[in-house]
Amino acid sequence: MLPLRGIARRLTRSQSAEIFVYPHLGGTDLGFARILGTGLGNLLLPWARAIIAARRNRWTPLFPTWPQLKVGPLLRRERDARLYSGLFRCPPDYVGSPRRLLLLLRGPRVGEGVAVDRVAPGSVVVFRGLQDGFRSILEEHELVRRELLAMVRVEHLHHFRPKDPVAIGIHVRLGDFRQVSQPGVPEPGIASYGDRLPLDWYVEALGNLRRALGPVPALVFSDGSNSDLDALLRLPGVQRFDSGSPLGDLLALASVRVLIGSISTFSMWATYLGRMPTVWRRSEEPTALLYDRPGAEASVAPGDGLPEAFLALARAAIGPRE
């Protein structure tokens, strides 16, 4: 019986002129699942850079290992266990198992920073980590959205751009995010990535929007419990949304008309895909995803009002009300 590497060599010899891209999503990749890993928003970033490089250079994408095993969310009893199985299908032009495993076993692998003209035929270019966040994919949002939707399993697709999207979506990221400050301590105006924003900030942002737009309905998207979200859910016209999957939630959040976001890549992906006016908490690294829509992102601290230019775009996004 031939050794596995010998089998791989024989099976891939005819494709030796191809160059492949592989989004390594972090953790220990076993081929069928990964041990440990980050949230869906973070995982999508190396995939996006890989698919952009594949289409730009006519390289062949390898289907990433989406399922992951992680005990932290289970120990914290989070609503989202972050297993990420059953979300995506392997598109026809991707290489799936078992050939994908054989190509990864055979190599050679090179990092994504290598110049294109120095990548040898037969190589696997590996993309991993956050790198520069959304900066390198910023202007490729149409390609990335198209490629993402082509990979989504059909049962999740109906959440994206329904016939009558809700006026306001609110993403409250809790889970393993840290508290910004202790109770009783004045809230600073500046927040960082990974901060759990106080619920009062979301309540204030929603109030500012409704004073300008009227009592429009709002949906809350969150990994927290109902008791965590009580200050929002008890407001009139505010309900919770839960599709049953993180991908369904992301696609639904990307379909709202106006977004109040958390400082997380999940919120950023919703804005990146949906292109809707978005309210952000003022942060150390200002979010600027809507490069083609000046004024469509409002970065505010507690006590700040919303700029009139932003409110004009929000009114246009929501449209006339009966």
Q: What is the pLDDT of residue 320?
A: 77
Q: What is the pLDDT of residue 75?
A: 47
Q: What is the DSSP string of 221-276?
A: EESS-TTTTHHHHTSTTEEE---SSHHHHHHHHTTSSEEE--SSHHHHHHHHHH--
Lookup: tokens for 35:
């041990």
- What is the per-residue pLDDT across 23-70, written as a single tens digit (0 to 9) for each? 999 999 998 899 988 899 999 999 999 999 999 999 999 999 999 986
3-state secondary structure of 149: helix
CA proximity to 67, closest of 83, 54, 53: 83
- What is the per-residue pLDDT across 200-254, written as a single tens digit (0 to 9) for each? 999 999 999 999 999 999 999 999 999 999 999 999 999 999 999 999 999 999 9
Contact between 45 and 29 under an 8 Å Cβ cutoff? The reply is: no
Q: What is the pLDDT of residue 321?
A: 66
Contact between 50 and 43 under an 8 Å Cβ cutoff? The reply is: no
* Domains of the chain: residue spans and CATH: 4-151 (no CATH), 168-318 (3.40.50)
Q: How many CB atoms lie within 10 A of CB 132?
A: 11
Query: Which residues are CB-neighbours of 294 under 8 A, at least 6 positions away?
Result: none
